[in-house]
Structure 1
């Protein structure tokens, strides 16, 4: 029984007890008072009648008239005169009269009226004794009316007590409800503080919980800051703040999985640029160490601003004079390289020295199936060609396209609208399921990756080949809705749990979000086995929409997570109030983890931090058993990838 029900029950019991006690005392005292008054009346009536008869003749007619005169008033039950020898001289009696008082009330509260007696004299001799007994129906009538009055006042007092009790309980309930919400927020891994209530007992409890939440939050912020510093130290260049070579290579491998790794679903196409600053030693001699570093920072800022325009771009400093830039979903490599050259060559003029031949750029197109080492070799070739072409030159090498990439490049945006619309209408989508296992090898869930068939009996495209185009066409909502419908089928037909990736465009589209919520609302049991995840860049870019998305779909019973996590680790504390269930680490942090001590240290700290607020960590893109063993030792809760069976 809840606390408030117990309090209401206590109020009711106290009120009833008070009423019953006061009612019993009142009834007892009133009945005793009425009995005393009836006795006094009987005595007075008996004395009056005895005096009257004593002064008159004692013949039966006179006596009878005297008794009748008193008895006919209707207030007496019995009037009798008895001689000294016990003989009844005269007697009048009346049965119980009709009354509006219920019989059960009369039986429950009987009134006993003691008879009044007086002696009748006859010339200094005793003639007899008169006995008078009054009717009790008038006393019962008075007692009944008082009872009705008491009940009416009790109801009024009970209503007032209930109103006062409701106000008091409401006053208590508000801080209690806030404290319950705070406790639930803690269980959902959200840091929530409340205002301290005015009630002293509750104020001390609220203050203690608020202090606990603040300590947890501060500790979490401190640990986040420490890991952020470690993350920057491991993956970023200390001078320019750009990613370093190791991080760049890991990211490149993660977006270019081998053709047989269809599970990745992240395959992209775009351009890769290598920017080389010429004769950095001479620049250092002219500008000095500080000036050179300032120039490098300007170059890093320029390239970094280009990379920050979209979350899937990456800029890095590969070595002292070389910079790398990955630009997905861009076709005009020459135009891009030319504009970048113009902006870079304008930088030396802002310094004290003049550098005529400042940089060269080599650019190539990359696509799904390319090998990172071969890709970099071709980029070096393009860079070498640019260096031979002259001052501040650039050169682009066009790569060979695979079959799928050729299809993507050949179709214009209008064609793609028809392709995706037709696929939706004819349901030419399917899900490829890949296992996600815990450290013991037991399946946590299956990860569902979408595939699209561009035409009947045609080849199936991976998500990376069409999702970006679907986003440009504002079609991710229908695609994601179709994916969830397909995901519900295996959940209905077999045991286990399933994870589905949703696009950020879908969670910001209220119409499709509502349709998705209505769809899942029809399957409450299946929602508990459905994991919904959103890319990291989308979650941070649309944080308020993602917060509402978490609240809505966690309410339906789904588990909510973020995939490709790690690139925005510095903003991790923004996620603490979302109640996330899991994070999937980006493959760029996982590749070769068994050989990277610094990455191991970072992931171990991330696991510790996430576990402290109840979030599980899953590694994506595991290639082999060595990586899997290392990740399990680091404390990760699950792994998936080509090396996981």
Structure 2
């Protein structure tokens, strides 16, 4: 249907509704000079013009004209006043509401605006209509106040009783259009009880009066309690319809005097005003209260939405996802799959283009996730560049959309200023079968697997098996990392030392060369070697914190023992790979050395060849900055990257520490002997000195001396001992 035909059909329908409302009012008219005590057409016409616009005033005129032609003929002189009184008043009132509230919403302030506009409408309509009655000779001039008041009250009751209901039925507030929203069984039972009580109250109230009793005005107030109950418990649309029906019923019964003998039509102006005023109050209070409750529910819903939904992506936030995921795991009878999605190298997007650009990429990825998975899947932005998905599917079915999402993210291009931003993702998937695992266990599995996928280069899907040994290893490492953090906080890390002995000159007991090593005690007091602790700390970004702790503890101990500090010629301290790229470490070390009695040149920082080769430029910058303070450097575990000899020319280190695997095999492997010789020769050629690690016997020492290695370290001299014991043994 074309728009013109649709508007015409709507206009005809509205004219018919207006005519029907006016036809009800005809019941109140005994003579052409009578004024209807209740004019429902006002509410219908007002709502129609408010909802669909000023042109539909023509429907009001058409309905009014049809009324006078078919049901309520009037003198020709009065007809223009009758048509104008309704059309002009409705048009003016609608313009007033639209000027102050362009968007009609079910709000208390909108209700008050409609009430003010309704009062304006009724005043204008009553003024024009009552004047028309006098001009047409239908009402004597001295009867004009009575006609004006009755006209005003009849229109006002029609507006208050029907306008809110008709607006909701016309769809003016879409969120409240549904009359019967899905309800729980308890709420449905409550509604049935309400309806039964309302029927009982109305029927009982009308059966109670006797012929000679006082005028039963109280009947107009009896249903108010139930309507207030409805406003508090049921939907605004239900309350509006109920209020309209009850008001219309009471207006007909009390206004026309129909029903049992105890009811009669009000004859005096005072009775009429009291009746109509009571009905107006009855029709207004429940609607305003319903709007107030609706506002409160909307505010609470908005607050709940903010607590559950991530504002950036529109997905669930972490807390809401975990709560709903736990509920599904507790009640689901089928397989459930949890996906963990982590964008690869997302920090580059933020650093290169800005955090606003990164936010836009996250929004686009969130849309891809929403479009990939079924509507019943739980989707969350867990924080940062991480997303989680829980869907009702086994691993085989869940991996299909997961791989599709992986390809979609890789193909995504986000335009930002003059750049095209892109990223990839690492996705892990774990499936749980009934009885389901606890949420935190499932999350731990996919978190560990996702990190493993990133370690393998990213841009891949990793499906987790329950007996995956690599995940168990990673979980053990995670627990060790937690132990490391706990050990740092509780200061359970101990300093141990091992001698580094000169091979080309006699040792000087007053000049000590040694490396500081770590041991840590768990909650049971058991002493552990550092290998797992250091690896876990480095893996989970605790390395810089651990290195700072060791440096601070070493300097603090030496500051407390100045005699021991004076004997230090070379104090080796290990630094992890993360410390090499920690921009704040240099400032920390400079500040800490300024407060220490130990000189910077007494310290030698040991960094592994693997970490240096990983980012040679950053390593070179770091070493040069530390050397400006006076510190020295040793390249630890040298030889594991044997093919990288060429970078040594530009790497300002003082020592090469030959990896212990070559030293241990020195007496049995010609290859190991050749490697040690080559490293030593290159070290001397570049002005460095060579240190052999893990020397265990005299035969190895003899060969090391023959190869002109400068220093050796290992069990052949001394096993590591606590720092206090080390200095007491060396005294």
Between Structure 1 and Structure 2, which shows a larger proportion of strand residues? Answer: 1
- Category of TM-score, reference length = shorter chain: 0.3 to 0.5
TM normalised by structure 2 equals: 0.31
Higher relative contact order (CA 8 A, sep 6+): 1
Greater radius of gyration (CA): 1
